Structure 1
Amino acid sequence: MEVRTLTGLMKMVASTSPDQIAVSVRGKIELTYAHLRERVDEAAALLVFSGVEAGDIVALTFPNTVEFVILLLAVIRCRAIVAPLNPTYTAERFGFCLSNSGSKLLLTPQEGNQQAQFAASMLNIPHLTAKLHSAKSKITLSSINIEPSLDLMCKVVNEPSDVALFLHTSSNMSHPIPVLLTQHDLASSVQNIKRVYKLTNSDSTVIVLPMFNVYGLVAGLLSSLAAGVTVALPAAVRFSASRFWADMILYNATWYTAIPRIHQIILDHHLSKPQPAYPKLRFIMSCGALLAPSIRAQLEEAFGAPVLEAYAMMEATHLTASNPLPEDGEHKPSSVGRPVGQEMAISDEYGAIRAVGVSSEVCIGGPNVTEGHKNNPEANKQAFQSRRFHTGGVSYGGLDARFSASRSLADSAAWVSHMSEVASPSPSNDMPEGNNAPQTTEENNTETERGGEEGGHGLTMEFEKFSGPKNFSYEELMTAIADRKILGKGGFGAVYEGRIGKARTQVAVKVINYDSHQGMNEYKSEVITLSQLRHKNLVPLIGYCHEADKFVLVYEFMSEGSLEDHLFKGKSLLTWETRYKIAQGLASVLHYLQKQCRQCVIHRDIKSSNIMLDEEFEAKLGDFGLARLVDYATGSKTTELIGTRGYMAPEYITTSRASKETDVYSFGVVLLEIVSGRRVIDLERDPIDLIEWSLKHYRARKLVHAVDEKLGKDFDKKQAEALIIAGLLCAHPITTSRPSIEEAMAILNLKARVKPRELPLKSPQSPLSINWKVSPRWLKF
């Protein structure tokens, strides 16, 4: 009889191989399949006691630990839905995922996760920590001190239709789309993987990929557990190249799965520090992107095992196609093999199947393919036609029913962001972060979805239309920043101080990290926008680089750092004259962007950290990765809501329409920061935000009290009042009550008088009062 649930498969393995090691953490814990089943049921009972009900969504944010394995299976066991999240997310991203999923509970390791906890607290989501002390002890949840009842779980029956997994995908959409996978989806997929790779209880593997993602979760963990395989978790709780082979040898591993970038790291480590001996591998699995033929050949030669390339998608609960084991067929270069357990076809935009050899879109259908994205009829209309899922990948079918798959350039940014999470789950001493990873070979440029040969050539041709920025080689830029002196770090990646050319010109080099919303679209926007703009108050873009998965931007060096550094991070105190000059310079460049360019430029992220200062303390507006060009007649653009909390206009938060007026609002907030030396939101300093605080002084007719106290009396009273009034007017909660940028400049230059009634006498809605549960997106902090 066919087993149609994941929990049913787990129960069957625990019955047939109770003493087989299921999960092992080197030198710490070993769980047999019988023990694993007990720990899962105990944890499920605790979750039910804590209030988790069938259909509730429970968020987990863990590295690759045994607690994650137990809790993931426990949430599914009590018929709830598990939402695994990357533990290195920012509070912004955690907030989006928790809000978008409607999570009822957040689970973290015993040491907690500050960013996740902060986001959960903003959404009033309860938080519990978990710890397993030994293989024979019960898992403990904070604040729950009862003895779990296994009798309770005996009454719980898991159905194939139960939704088990909630994931976010960016595979063919411009922003994350929820995907719900059922028990039946998971059971079908893991049995497909088990069958095509002939996994048995004689096999063992070491988890390489993060288990919050479908690649590590389904292919690495769940398919192994469903087959009785011994699964070893890294002692470092994440992939470590220096420890990988020691673990593989200890557990006599027979296979592993990874994405091309990690295969490259493993190969590089082997070439620099080869092991005396390697375990006898049956195969190596590669998915997530095309693997360069040279890398595949080197892997097979080094480790004596066939490298099987596969095509996997979240909507297919991972595996869609794979090259076969050697005994089952020939490996076809640059192919992802034959469909596994499902229908796979090439169709046109109307769903009609195309002829063999014709390039078109890959479509899939089968028991492991989700029926649709959650609460997104528009996405479903685009992606699900003729009872098939349209993947967005462009391919062609061969006469032997094998497929060659790639991804369209339009989907590249989301896919790069998605894959970087898999490649860089968290920092490690020997796993370089982001684009500091080993450079891929020239042949690896076949990875078009990561900015390689096809996409990179198209970008180069587009960029060459504009004069100014130079196309640098990646090698040249890595030489320029060889000292690795970091100027700044954030969700976008890192900015390094560098020196280029024979003259050793000092530059700032931004190496983009795709564990953020800064994908290829943002890189492209930055180059195209800044290539067309010329103003003394803009950060000059000197050059760019896109090779394989490397995206780098080169700027003129700003010796005095950012405005934020001086106002809030302890860099030298800015005099009043300097502050006033910075405000005027920012107004000037905003006027240029809104009134003097061929198209109106909407920046969307004006804030103190994006305002740089040169050696003369001249303000330079930077970071145009989110900028949008609109016709003057249009004046606004509906976009994905993205920006920084506190700097975003109320109407932008509620409608996602960015406009000149929303940039004016952000400008007003920065003016208030300049004059006061206070952050727009600083809960440790004041329970109210900066706009409310400034209005309080305005209503009391004590505007000078809003001037930065560190300046003492060393400021111009008229200029200070003008700055505060301009800031409050620009940050007016009502769009139509804000001044144009010309009017704001007139106020700053003391050429316009403002009547008191023109200022908002009633406090605007504070960013602190926004109901984040109903807010349409999540914002940066």
Structure 2
Amino acid sequence: MLSKRMGNKNGPSNTEALDAEDNCTGLYMFSKKEIKKAISSWKYSKVRVVYRTAGKIYTGILPSGQLVAIKKLKGERMELFHREVDTHCRVRHPNIVSLVGACSGSGRKRYLVYEYCSNGNLVQQLAGSDHVLSWEERVKILRGIALALRFLHSHPDGSIIHTGIKAKNIQLTENMDPKLSNFWSTQVLSRQGIPALAGRPSCVVDIHAFGILALQVLSGTTGDWKSAPGDTIVRMAKEVVRGEREPAEIKDSLLNIGQDDLCDMESILRVAVLCLTETQEGCPTMEEVFEVVNEVWRKMHSRHLHHEISQVAGSPLTPCGSIDDRSN
């Protein structure tokens, strides 16, 4: 049974569950009374229910005033409950949604309490929001998720594979900081990079999914990567890499960017296509992917700073150099 401070937690006997650390620092075990009070404290909680694969999500307010997202799981989801808790006990990162606490109690209902991300998920921002993501916000999102995956894949206990990298599993904070969520299908590799159990996926699964995600963010498309729209994005991106199309043809039509940003976009597009390489040998690592996206982020901010300084000094801007093609 899970203890109040997680020091005595007995995980599931199923060998596919991740082993929890002996001391899960900072994770609070809520009572069901506390959970109900948190949900009822949010006056719009009943209309803020979101149906997900793994359960219902409610908005709640803790006694401290902190807004939280509360996921309710039923008995048949117990393995998911343990897997989420076990994974969050070992991973803490600015670009991973924080698990504030959990509630096991008695009966068949279990609850997971997460930090609240006020801008919803990436699908909502790309498809259902009045706000059009700026170029800077899109790069920020891709950089944050690449950073989170680099952290997971290089974890000291062995590479952690999310296996569910997609737009709906990326939550966005008030400042549009991306947070990777939904760790119920996570797998772990040995330190040598060999799957801990036969048949488990490799890091390439996440890298391939990141490539699809990057193309969706660049193009503003939200369809699943297995659908026809996803296939179209991939085909068009490969044609850009081969010089058969212009990068602007894959750009989100709602996004207004200049030539320098278009060059940056092509750099990200090229590494996204590399991520879709079918063989593990030809696929870049998340470290290499992050370097490309981070370089775009750095050059973009360098241009912004240059522009601000030039405006203050009253001097004209000098042309920005071409983007280093890190995908070659």
Short-chain TM bin: 0.7 to 0.9
SS of 1:711 mapped into structure 2: coil
Long gaps (5+) in structure 2:
10-19, 297-323
1:627-653, CA deviations, whole angstroms, 9 ceiling, x for partnerless residues?
Answer: 1232221433557xxxxxxxxxxxxxx
Deviation at 1:694, TM superposition (A): 2.3
SS of 2:188 mapped into structure 1: strand
Partner of 2:327: 754
Change (3 A) 1:685 1:532: closer
C-alpha contact 1:536 1:620 (8 A) present in aligned 2: yes
SS of 1:736 mapped into structure 2: coil
Identity %: 26
2-structure distance, mates of 1:541, 1:485: 23
Change (3 A) 1:542 1:571: farther
Deviation at 1:457, TM superposition (A): 6.6
Q: Tell me whether 1:529 sits opposite 2:87 in the alignment.
A: yes
Partner of 1:561: 120
Alignment of 1:622-633 (within 5 A): 622-633=181-192
- Aligned counterpart in structure 1 of residue 67 of structure 2, from 496, 499, 506: 506
C-alpha contact 2:62 2:68 (8 A) present in aligned 1: yes
Please tell me the residue identity of whatever aligns with 1:729.
L
- Aligned counterpart in structure 2 of residue 707 of structure 1, from 246, 251, 258: 251
C-alpha contact 1:493 1:514 (8 A) present in aligned 2: no
C-alpha contact 1:679 1:690 (8 A) present in aligned 2: no
2-structure distance, mates of 1:637, 1:724: 33
Alignment of 1:341-740 (within 5 A): 461-462=8-9, 465-482=23-40, 483-501=45-63, 503-513=64-74, 519-547=77-105, 548-638=107-197, 656-681=199-224, 686=229, 688-699=231-242, 700-713=244-257, 716-740=261-285
SS of 1:615 mapped into structure 2: coil
Deviation at 1:660, TM superposition (A): 1.2
1:413-443, CA deviations, whole angstroms, 9 ceiling, x for partnerless residues?
Answer: xxxxxxxxxxxxxxxxxxxxxxxxxxxxxxx
C-alpha contact 1:492 1:514 (8 A) present in aligned 2: no
Change (3 A) 1:544 1:520: same
1-structure distance, mates of 2:135, 2:52: 29
Deviation at 1:597, TM superposition (A): 3.6
1:36-56, CA deviations, whole angstroms, 9 ceiling, x for partnerless residues?
Answer: xxxxxxxxxxxxxxxxxxxxx
C-alpha contact 1:637 1:657 (8 A) present in aligned 2: yes
- Report the TM-score, using the length of structure 1 for normalisation: 0.34
Give aligned pairs, total.
Answer: 281
C-alpha contact 2:247 2:262 (8 A) present in aligned 1: no
2-structure distance, mates of 1:575, 1:752: 23
Change (3 A) 1:604 1:545: same
Deviation at 1:608, TM superposition (A): 0.8
What's the C-alpha RMSD, in Å, of the aligned pairs? Answer: 2.6
2-structure distance, mates of 1:675, 1:730: 15
2-structure distance, mates of 1:711, 1:718: 14
Please tell me the residue identity of whatever aligns with 1:572.
H
SS of 2:26 mapped into structure 1: coil
Deviation at 1:571, TM superposition (A): 4.8
- Report the TM-score, using the length of structure 2 for normalisation: 0.78
Long gaps (5+) in structure 1:
1-454, 640-655, 756-781
1-structure distance, mates of 2:164, 2:253: 28
C-alpha contact 1:635 1:660 (8 A) present in aligned 2: no
Partner of 1:452: none
Change (3 A) 1:630 1:684: closer
Alignment of 1:34-183 (within 5 A): none
Q: More strand by proportion, 1 or 2?
A: 1
Change (3 A) 1:494 1:744: same
1-structure distance, mates of 2:279, 2:7: 43
Deviation at 1:595, TM superposition (A): 1.5
Structure of higher CA gyration radius: 1
Change (3 A) 1:681 1:605: closer
Partner of 1:744: 289
Change (3 A) 1:675 1:514: farther
1-structure distance, mates of 2:197, 2:112: 27
Please tell me the residue identity of whatever aligns with 2:326.
R
Change (3 A) 1:637 1:725: farther
2-structure distance, mates of 1:621, 1:682: 18
SS of 1:553 mapped into structure 2: strand
2-structure distance, mates of 1:744, 1:687: 20
Deviation at 1:514, TM superposition (A): 5.7
1-structure distance, mates of 2:225, 2:202: 27
Please tell me the residue identity of whatever aligns with 1:534.
R
C-alpha contact 1:636 1:660 (8 A) present in aligned 2: no
Partner of 1:283: none
Partner of 1:771: none
Deviation at 1:549, TM superposition (A): 0.8
1-structure distance, mates of 2:177, 2:250: 24
Please tell me the residue identity of whatever aligns with 1:575.
S
Change (3 A) 1:687 1:573: closer
Please tell me the residue identity of whatever aligns with 1:732.
T
C-alpha contact 1:559 1:614 (8 A) present in aligned 2: yes
